[in-house]
Structure 1
Amino acid sequence: MVDPQALQQAHDALAGARAKLEKLRGIDPYFIDLSLRENPVGSCLGQTLEQKLRILPLLREFGFQRIQLGTLDYALPDEPEVDDDLMAYLRDHGIDMTGCSAFTAIGIAAEDGSFTPDPSQLKLRDYGVPNTLHEIYLSRRGMQGNYDLPTLRRSLPASIRWLQQNIRGDHGGKPKIYINIVDGCDAFMESPEAVAEILTLLADQPIAGVSIEDDRGTYLPFQVGAVVAAARAFLPPPLKLLVHVHAGGGFENASVIEALLNGADGAWGGLPKRAAIIGHASLGELIANLVRIGNPHMQAYQLDRLLPLATTLQQLDEGGPVPEDLPILGSNAYRLTLSFFRQLGDRFMDLPPEAIGGRYGYRICPLVSDGPVLAGRLAEVTGQPAASFPPALTEQMIRLMRRDLRAGRRIDYDQPAELLALLARAERV
């Protein structure tokens, strides 16, 4: 007999999971797209001005309302980057920059009250970019060589005031200023009191919100969730709380989900996976996963363009194909090796490729591939309908693959020539 107490514990655990799922379904996430900066940072090639000018309208057409044009707080500010050229071009040609922003660094307020804006702030003003992610560091290691905590404490309000007075925001209004704590997870783990002090200060400033990064991708999802919950305690709505997570330890997408469950409003990142290190929690992956759970707000985006657009942008940055085994966005993510793995539109938590603008393909793995997969791959290779390869024929192909492997012959049947040779052998039996 089933233990009633154990059964109740099981029901309670599942109810908790359903409650989290409902919360994720109801979130209308606040996104800032970074495909013009995050993705080329990790690229061996970068993006040219011509490429950026082609990408920008594609991002708007997809549905992004807030787009990061680039970075202005880079090293050697006297040596412009392509990001500078893009912003100057948009300004000089009267191209609408509504919702656009750029990274800047804070200026420094001296003890005598004088304020020196950072070169990136001056560039933001001169290029006419209406909004900014204004970056600070809060850990001891991050602040070292830049400023100390007392300097940061007096410089932050002065820097925000300078932006409010000198930057013309969207439609002539005030700029949206997001304070990005680059080492936010590090700082919280090191000194929650110091972070709490700065967040309390920021809560009274005329800003749009705060962003927290796991900039190396080394924190576990529950740690990122805890950091967000801790930050939210000092940053009540309507202040936005955003996250940005790199893929250092492979936790990135789970970390963003934990962040949303713990009070984050959204995230910023590129649409493709490519990022500064080995990847990041991309907006493409996050949107796909929210589609997976039935979040209705994702209908605001051209979902039929998600997979092809993310793939195209990553191919541009890579100068080659997207890694095949990349989850969600890689080609093998939707190449079936066994028909059992097919995701269905009417099954809970499945995300068929058609939902994000893709389609199923087939990949032969001799140990497990079944008849439908063999027929599907043969259709891809020959151009003939899959139905023209009957079950008896594909069964014989399976038998031959097993015999080859048992005889020590390791053959890549996914290659067209080897697959056609296998087909010919099966037809002769």
Structure 2
Amino acid sequence: MSSTQALDHARAILATADAKLDKLRAIEPYLIDLSLRENPVGSNVGQTLRDKLGILPKLREFGFQNISLGTLDYAIPDELEVDDDFMMYLRDNHVDLTGCFAFTAMGIAATDGSFTPDPSQLKLKAYGVPNTVHEIYLSKQGMQGVYDFETLRRSLPVSIRWLHDNLRGDHGGPPRILINIVDGCDAFSSNLEQTCEILALLAQLPIEGMTFEDDRGTFLPFQVGAYVAVARSLLPPPFKILVHIHGGGGFENASVIEALLSGADGIWGGLPKRAAIIGHASIGELLANLSRIGNPHVQRYQMGELLPLATAFQWLDEKGPVPDDLPVLGHNAYRMTFSGFQQRRDRFMDLPPEAIGGRYGYRVCALISDPPVIAGRLAEVTGLPTDDFPDDVLQQMIRLMRRDLRTGRRIDYDKPDVLLELYARAKVFCGHHRPHTHATHHAIADASTEAK
């Protein structure tokens, strides 16, 4: 292969990647926010009625048009949850519920033609919630002990008809119904024939679309993409297809991107990362990643508030901080350890923190941190401008960190008191060639006292 042919081949390969980026940029993501349910499910403490009443208007202000108020198909339905109290409060106080959903389970149609709605359906009607995500199971294991396939196939159209007959949707219209296959990835992988039969049935029913889950986060991205492609082949537009991916294996956001490329319209999930297991492909992360590639549709949301809002919600749910090393939303996600890692607005695929309401910080690491990072961290600790720290002293700090490690000393230089001690040592080595002003000296002394 000649060099010209090799270059043409390389361009052809990259053109496929560019085509995928163009597809992602064009998607107007269909999102159902679950910050009122998904996030507290994985929380140690949960949300109170007061918490939920404070969260709902913030979700509206951020720009969400589709919001799940909670789940009604939970175990022990006679023992109410805060979700019930919340929906009853909204109903009794005549709060506008346009675009609001609640999760429900399918009712059962008997062979004699009688139909028994699920308790969650009765609650949905009583609470006046206009739309629903209606849940079914389709894997052999998921259906076991709940219903058999014949019962599912017989009951699903009747259950959907009951919803249409008993709910007033947005602005008095028909309810918007999405069918969620809770064990969706399991169903596609182990019960494909019956799963496809149900999808073909859904194509004939008055619903907005379907969703499916990887509820343990164990399926690889290309598998999720394949399942979406199968669903799309049976449910062409305008049917919506959404996914919900948990973070068990660590590839949840990649799975969402693969799903979108394979024909999905969007996702449902919470704004923060917290979810039922160890996290999920959150709406916050998806919005950030679509913004990263230049998707214009995400600008309908208050992107400048994304980071502080998602962080505040997780603080509320956990009664504690967001994990430092969480991608995109964690404290360390935008604390530079080396200036070469800085993301910039003018560079392809970068998403600077200011784009989602954050700002850069600095974290000193012994092996890699360079003068801009060390000066930035000193500025954070002392409140002084970075120009107040001489370059020769910063360079000497790097040398001292290396020497300390070579002599077997493992020191956390990011701690304020330790960093200031290192700075003082470096100044001595430099012979005070560029002494601080009187004000700078006092600022460092005050910072050192406060750190101790």
Q: Which residue of 2 is the match for residue 424 of structure 1?
A: 424
Q: Report the AA paired with residue 9 of structure 1.
A: H
Instruction: Deviation per CA, 1:50-103: give whole Å up to 9, x if none.
Output: 001001100110000000000000000000000001000000111111100100
Root-mean-square deviation (CA), in Å?
A: 0.8
Q: Report the AA paired with residue 169 of structure 2.
A: G
In 2, Cα distance between the equivalents of 1:411 and 1:71?
A: 48
The question of whether the paired residues in 1 share the 8 Å contact of 2:108 and 2:117 is answered with: yes
TM-score normalised by length of structure 1: 0.99
Structure 2: runs of 5 or more not aligned: 430-452
Q: Which residue of 1 is the match for residue 170 of structure 2?
A: 170
Q: Secondary structure at the match of 1:233?
A: helix
In 2, Cα distance between the equivalents of 1:232 and 1:408?
A: 59
Q: Which residue of 2 is the match for residue 393 of structure 1?
A: 393
In 2, Cα distance between the equivalents of 1:109 and 1:259?
A: 33
* Cα displacement (A) at 1:7: 2.8
Q: Report the AA paired with residue 206 of structure 1.
A: P
Q: Secondary structure at the match of 2:178?
A: strand
Instruction: Deviation per CA, 1:139-187: give whole Å up to 9, x if none.
Output: 0000001101110011000000000000111111111010000111111
In 2, Cα distance between the equivalents of 1:377 and 1:158?
A: 63
Q: Which residue of 2 is the match for residue 243 of structure 1?
A: 243
The question of whether the paired residues in 1 share the 8 Å contact of 2:66 and 2:100 is answered with: yes
Q: Which residue of 2 is the match for residue 293 of structure 1?
A: 293
Q: Which residue of 2 is the match for residue 92 of structure 1?
A: 92
Q: Which residue of 1 is the match for residue 348 of structure 2?
A: 348
| Bigger CA radius of gyration | 2
- Give the percent of matched residue pairs that are identical in Structure 1 and Structure 2: 73
Q: Note the 1:99-248 alignment, pairs <5 A.
A: 99-248=99-248
Q: Report the AA paired with residue 6 of structure 2.
A: A
In 2, Cα distance between the equivalents of 1:298 and 1:391?
A: 42
Q: Which residue of 2 is the match for residue 43 of structure 1?
A: 43
In 2, Cα distance between the equivalents of 1:89 and 1:428?
A: 66
Number of corresponding residues: 429
Moved more, 188-197 or 57-66: 188-197
In 1, Cα distance between the equivalents of 2:87 and 2:245?
A: 26
Q: Report the AA paired with residue 34 of structure 1.
A: L
Q: Which residue of 1 is the match for residue 270 of structure 2?
A: 270
Q: Which residue of 1 is the match for residue 279 of structure 2?
A: 279
Q: Secondary structure at the match of 1:103?
A: strand
In 2, Cα distance between the equivalents of 1:266 and 1:58?
A: 21
Is 1:17 the counterpart of 2:40? The answer is: no
Instruction: Deviation per CA, 1:90-130: give whole Å up to 9, x if none.
Output: 00111111100100000000001100000000000000000
In 1, Cα distance between the equivalents of 2:69 and 2:9?
A: 50
Q: Secondary structure at the match of 1:156?
A: helix
Q: Which residue of 2 is the match for residue 64 of structure 1?
A: 64
Structure 1: runs of 5 or more not aligned: none
Q: Which residue of 1 is the match for residue 369 of structure 2?
A: 369
TM-score normalised by length of structure 2: 0.94
The question of whether the paired residues in 1 share the 8 Å contact of 2:34 and 2:69 is answered with: yes
* Cα displacement (A) at 1:193: 1.4
The question of whether the paired residues in 1 share the 8 Å contact of 2:140 and 2:191 is answered with: no
Q: Secondary structure at the match of 1:279?
A: coil
* Cα displacement (A) at 1:2: 4.7
Q: Report the AA paired with residue 231 of structure 1.
A: A
* Cα displacement (A) at 1:5: 3.8
In 1, Cα distance between the equivalents of 2:195 and 2:9?
A: 38
